[in-house]
Structure formats: structure tokens, C-alpha cells
A and B are shown apart, each in its own frame.
Chain A
Amino acid sequence: MSQLAGASGARPMDRLRDALPRIVLSPSVAIVAVFVYGFILFTIYLSFTNSRILPDYELVGWRNYHNLFRIRAWNTAVVNLAIFGLLYIAICCCLGLFLAILLDQRIRAEGFIRTIYLYPMALSFIVTGVAWKWFLNPGIGLQAVVRGWGFENFSFTWITDGKMAIYTIVIAAVWQTSGFVMAMFLAGLRGIDNEMLKAAQIDGASSFVLYRRIVIPQLRPAFMSAFVVLAHMAIKSYDLVIALTGGGPGTATELPATFMYSYTFTRNQMGIGAASAVIMLMTIAAIIVPYLWSELREKK
């Protein structure tokens, strides 16, 4: 809606009133301009300096980027983010959708079950990391328990296996957020026109066809919201890795966020840390910006 028409700028009060929406929005814009985009510029600048323990403003050209790509852990981190991000988002969406569909079948005690599915989101990984670590630990966790039941050959040693450890991160991350995604899909399902379901029933669609061809395609907005939330979580996954594996075994579960932290703060190579942050931001932008663009433009 546009502002009320009228002779604009006739009197100062009117002019003020016309400008009010912009004035209200401006603190947020100013804050974000400085604290997001200003900081991004600052980081870009840092990535070209020889900053170590604290920012240093002497430029060193592309050296940090050059070094960054020679560091093996960075490659591991990027590959891991791809694996983790894809699996995490995909599994969360599938599981969330699956559970939402099940919960949408007029379940008794739905509210109770929903709360159980949702609660992990309320806990920080400082809290649950230790529990997960124990559970995944072959010596004391799941493997030990199942073997205790008499299945001596049962083996679940992913967390100790450099090739599989990243998947344990996925398991724990899915545990944390899939309930939230479920709630989003449930909301989406509840929003679907009831008559449409009747129409499909009369058309003879089985439940499976109904969901696959009619209901799920209509959950696109829910998918999109879930994607934004999940992508943002995947990119920021830090506590999780630190609590669960500390990036190990070896560097097997290093993610860009842990890499960045480690180089900036633990290894006192702030320049390389900044370079990794810039690369990471560019990657995020490459994925998110087209999405935002299409979503926002479409609404006009």
C-alpha cells in the first residue's frame, strides 16, 4: 500500500508524517548497515592483511587466500559443509514432513507428542553435546547397550571413524531441528484448503498420491521457510561440532565455522580466519541471494 496521497510537503508536520515509515525503519537499516555490512567490509579488509592476534591494517595482498587453499583442513571443512548441509537439510525436511503428515492424522495426544518432538530446539548443545557423545561412543553408548542385549556383533562406531564421523553430526543436528521443521510443515498442512482434499478424494487419489501430487507441492512456502532456517543453522553449526567431536577424529568433522573460529581465535591467524569467513560468506550469498531474490520479487 502506498502512503496516503495528498499534497506532500505542504507543512513540516505533514512531511514528517509522510516520512514516518522510513523513520521507523531507519534504525534497523542503520544497525544492519553497520553491524552486518560494515563488518563484512571490515572482514574483507582484514582478509588482505597480516592480522594475527588482533587486527593489523598492513595489506599483504592475496597471501591469506593463497594459504587458505593450501590448508588441508579448509578443504575438509568445505567438503564437510557440503555433505553436512545437504544431508542435514534434506533429512530434516523429509523427517519433518513425514512426522507432520503422521501427526496430521488426528492423533490423540498430539500436543504432547508435538512438544516432545519440538523440545530439542530449546536445548543448547553445550547441554546435549555430552549426552550425544556418550550415546554415540561405542564403549558406553548405543553399541554397548545393544551388545549388552546379546547382539554381540552389533557395531556402531561412526564417531570414531574419520569417514563416518560427519554423519554423527548430522544425526545430532537432525535431532535438534527436525521437530521444528515438523511444526512448520504441520502448520503448512493445516493451512491447506479442506475442500481440496475432498476433491482429491472424489477424484480417487490414494493417500499416497494425495500427498505426493497435491499436498506436498502446496507446502512450497513451508519448504522455503524451513530452508532458510535450516541453511542458517547449517552454516552456523559450531557448538554442535565442538561439543560432539571437537572437529575430530583428526580433522574429519571440521566445518567452515569451526575452521574460522580456530584460525581467528585459537591459532592467532586472524588474516586466514577472515579469508575463510569471506569465502564462506560468498558461498552463502551465492545460495541465499538468488533465493531471496526470487522469493521477494515473486510477491510483487
Chain B
Amino acid sequence: MMPGVSMDNPVAARSRGFSPGRIVLYLILGLFCLYYLLPLYVMAVNSVKPLSEITSGGMMSLPDEWTLAPWRAAWSQAQVGVEATGLRPYFMNSILMVVPAVALSTIMGALNGYVLTKWAFRGSTVLFGLLLFGCFIPFQMVLIPMARMLGLMGLAGSVAGLVFVHVVYGIGFSTLYFRNYYAAFPTELVRAAQIDGAGFFRIFWRILLPSSGPIAVVCIIWQFTNIWNDFLFGASFSDFDSQPMTVALNNLVQSSTGVREYNVHFAGAIMAALPTLLVYIVAGRFFVRGLMAGSVKG
């Protein structure tokens, strides 16, 4: 039993090398890469063209004249409000919102998952079901009552309010992830720690949390993506000084009766997506591992 070597998928192991089947396999995988990359190609290629090339047709072709001006414009010169600030100032707003919201919802999800698996009590499963169902509520529906509640709580138009909203609607999924992950975590370890005299929080902090890396990655990727890309809440519950990136991007892209600078739009669009892309590329390796450890197990 050679560890790491005997783990081969025997079915796959049989077909290593470059048989015709293998070539077809790579071809198919390559074709799907094209499918997934295509929109990115359209965006990237048009973000380095002058506008005239785009409006005169040829939106799919490579630029005749390469230019980085659209990128510069999207970053710091483009008009997204009365002042030509580009997207730059909004980046910080988004980060100020995303980081606490992701952190809070992840921690709450972890604690909930811990309680629901290791300290389950009568009715806790029902409570979990109720939490989970909350994931399915359409956001358009909660807009007005949420605005009212934020007003009542004095959080209207503040970053804290936005963070709160995202935490509220992030709890369901983060709890789901952690619950499934902790369900597979050996309960004996928790019992042993109890006997050693560790309390509720100490067990969580010292025993479960240190081994929660993979599922935390899944949860963070999920929450980060959703919150960073959210437009509806970001637009509705922010103030003039806390509008997130997506609102600025939307303002850049959607102008009603003005000239549309598609190249700048695409540059801005890619720019706005960079943080999430980065998260996917950096944490992507742990992603499948995390899913494997948590969410796909019954």
C-alpha cells in the first residue's frame, strides 16, 4: 500500500499516455475552454480597441490599433457621476463592505454549523431547515421592508447597513456549508475535549476551527462572489459616499441617453471582476477540496 501512489483512479490509470481516445478527451476539454473563455475574449479584445473600431463593426475581431486608453479611462477618468472619477474611488467602498460581510457571515455560519451538529437540541434540525429556506427568498421582495427596517435601526445608507443585509442573506448558505462539513467531523474529538474540561467556545476555537480551512475557503469564495457582484442591495441601501463598485460599473455601462463607450465599459467590467477572479485563481485549488470535504456529502 504505497500511499499517494495506490490512490490512482484505476479506470483512468489504464488510459494514460496519448492514445486517440486521450486526444479526443483533450480536444473536448479544449472546446469547452473556448466556450467558457469566449465572453471574456469579447470583453478583453474590445477593451483595447478605439471606440471607432467597435462602432464600425468587427466586434469579434482583434484590434487594428491597440490602446490602453479605455483601461485608464475606466480606472480614473470615466464619468460615473457628475465628477469624472472612474471606478477607482468605488473599489474601496466595495472592499469596506465585502470584507466585514464575508468575515461575519462566515463566522456566524461556522458557529451555527457547530451548534447544529455538535450541540444539536430538540428542534434544531427544524431551525436549520428554516434558516436554509431563507436562501430562496427573492431579493426583489425584501427590498422595501428591509429599507424600512434599516431605517428603524438607524443603519440606512451606511456601510454597516449594507454589511448587515449581506450577512442576513448569507447566513443560510454559510450555515449549510459548515453544517455539512462539521457533520463529518468526528464527534469523539469534541467529547474528548469536553472531558478535558474545554468549554463550548474553546472546543470551537481550538478543535473545530483549526480544521475548517477547506470549507472556509468554499464559504468565502461563495460569499465573496455574491456580495461583490451584488447590485440590487448595493444600489438601494448605500449612500452617495458608500456606493459599491457594481453600482459605479452599472452607472458606467448603463447610460440612458448618452454616448456609449463600449471599450471603456469592457475595461471597467474586467476591472470590476478582477478581485473575484483573483479569489478564484488563488483559492480555486482549495475549492474542490473544500467542496469534497463539505457540501457534497450528504
Asked if A and B form a direct contact in the complex, defined as CB atoms under 8 angstroms apart, the reply is: yes
Is B119 a contact partner of A3 (Cβ separation < 8 A)? Answer: yes
Picked from B42, B232, B287, the residue with its CB within 8 Å of the CB of A118 is B287
Given the known inter-chain contacts A21-B115, A207-B11, A225-B295, please indicate yes or no for A126 contacting B253, CB distance below 8 A. Answer: yes
Is B144 a contact partner of A55 (Cβ separation < 8 A)? Answer: yes
Complex Cα–Cα for A225 and B60 (A):
37
Question: What residues of chain A lie closer than 8 Å to B32, measured between beta carbons?
Answer: 99, 117
Question: What residues of chain B lie closer than 8 Å to A132, measured between beta carbons?
Answer: 39
Is B284 a contact partner of A107 (Cβ separation < 8 A)? Answer: no
Is B138 a contact partner of A191 (Cβ separation < 8 A)? Answer: no
Picked from A118, A124, A184, the residue with its CB within 8 Å of the CB of B295 is A184
* B145 interface residue per 8 A CB criterion: yes
Given the known inter-chain contacts A29-B127, A119-B280, A220-B298, please indicate yes or no for A175 contacting B36, CB distance below 8 A. Answer: yes
Question: What residues of chain B lie closer than 8 Å to A191, measured between beta carbons?
Answer: 292, 296-297
Question: What residues of chain A lie closer than 8 Å to B249, measured between beta carbons?
Answer: 126-127
Is A37 a contact partner of B108 (Cβ separation < 8 A)? Answer: no
* A288 interface residue per 8 A CB criterion: yes
Is A21 a contact partner of B25 (Cβ separation < 8 A)? Answer: no
Question: What residues of chain B lie closer than 8 Å to A106, measured between beta carbons?
Answer: 8-9, 12-13, 16
* A280 interface residue per 8 A CB criterion: yes
Of the listed stretches A67-75, A84-92, A159-167, A234-242, name the one at the interface; the rest are far from the partner chain.
Answer: A234-242
* B10 interface residue per 8 A CB criterion: yes
Question: What residues of chain A lie closer than 8 Å to B229, measured between beta carbons?
Answer: 123-124, 126
Complex Cα–Cα for A119 and B287 (A):
12
* B163 interface residue per 8 A CB criterion: no
Is A122 a contact partner of B273 (Cβ separation < 8 A)? Answer: yes
> Interface code B248-277, partner A: CB below 8 Å = 1, 0 otherwise?
011001000000001001100110110011
Question: What residues of chain B lie closer than 8 Å to A135, measured between beta carbons?
Answer: 38-39, 42, 60
* B154 interface residue per 8 A CB criterion: no
A1-27 contacts to B (CB < 8 Å):
1-4, 17, 20-22, 24-25, 27
Is B137 a contact partner of A36 (Cβ separation < 8 A)? Answer: yes
User: In the complex, how many angstroms separate the beta carbon of A238 from the nearest chain B beta carbon?
Assistant: 7
Complex Cα–Cα for A134 and B253 (A):
14
Q: Which residue of A lies closest to B22 (CB)?
A: A105
* A97 interface residue per 8 A CB criterion: no
Q: Which residue of A lies closest to B117 (CB)?
A: A1
Given the known inter-chain contacts A1-B118, A183-B287, please indicate yes or no for A121 contacting B225, CB distance below 8 A. Answer: yes
Is A190 a contact partner of B288 (Cβ separation < 8 A)? Answer: yes
Is B29 a contact partner of A102 (Cβ separation < 8 A)? Answer: yes
A146-164 contacts to B (CB < 8 Å):
none
Picked from B108, B231, B280, B297, the residue with its CB within 8 Å of the CB of A27 is B108
Q: Which residue of B lies closest to A42 (CB)?
A: B145
| Most chain A beta carbons < 10 A, residue from B11, B231, B250 | B11
* B240 interface residue per 8 A CB criterion: no
Is A28 a contact partner of B10 (Cβ separation < 8 A)? Answer: no
| Most chain A beta carbons < 10 A, residue from B57, B125, B144, B272 | B144
Is B285 a contact partner of A111 (Cβ separation < 8 A)? Answer: yes
Complex Cα–Cα for A288 and B136 (A):
9
Complex Cα–Cα for A106 and B262 (A):
41
Is B171 a contact partner of A32 (Cβ separation < 8 A)? Answer: yes
Complex Cα–Cα for A228 and B136 (A):
9
Question: What residues of chain B lie closer than 8 Å to A270, measured between beta carbons?
Answer: 144
Question: What residues of chain A lie closer than 8 Å to B26, measured between beta carbons?
Answer: 107
> Interface code B101-135, partner A: CB below 8 Å = 1, 0 otherwise?
00000001001101110111100110111111111
Question: What residues of chain B lie closer than 8 Å to A121, measured between beta carbons?
Answer: 225, 280
Complex Cα–Cα for A121 and B295 (A):
17
Is B292 a contact partner of A190 (Cβ separation < 8 A)? Answer: yes
User: In the complex, how many angstroms separate the beta carbon of B263 from the nearest chain A beta carbon?
Assistant: 12
Q: List 23 A-B contacts (CB under 8 A).
A: A1-B191, A3-B119, A21-B121, A24-B111, A25-B124, A28-B175, A31-B168, A32-B131, A105-B12, A106-B8, A118-B287, A124-B272, A126-B231, A131-B39, A140-B60, A175-B39, A187-B291, A221-B297, A235-B136, A236-B139, A265-B143, A284-B136, A289-B133
A-B pairs with lowest CB-CB distance, top 5: A124-B229, A187-B292, A21-B119, A122-B276, A187-B291
Q: A134-B60, A198-B10 are in contact. List 16 more A-B contacts (CB 8 A).
A: A24-B111, A32-B168, A35-B142, A114-B288, A123-B269, A124-B229, A127-B272, A128-B269, A132-B39, A185-B296, A191-B297, A194-B7, A228-B135, A280-B138, A288-B133, A299-B298
- Chain A residues within 8 Å of B, Cβ to Cβ: 1-4, 17, 20-22, 24-25, 27-29, 31-32, 34-40, 42-43, 54-55, 99, 102-107, 111, 113-124, 126-128, 130-132, 134-135, 140-141, 144-145, 175, 179, 183-188, 190-191, 194, 197-198, 201, 207, 210, 219-222, 224-225, 228, 231-232, 235-236, 238-239, 256-257, 260-261, 264-265, 270, 273-274, 277, 280-281, 284-285, 288-289, 292-293, 295-300
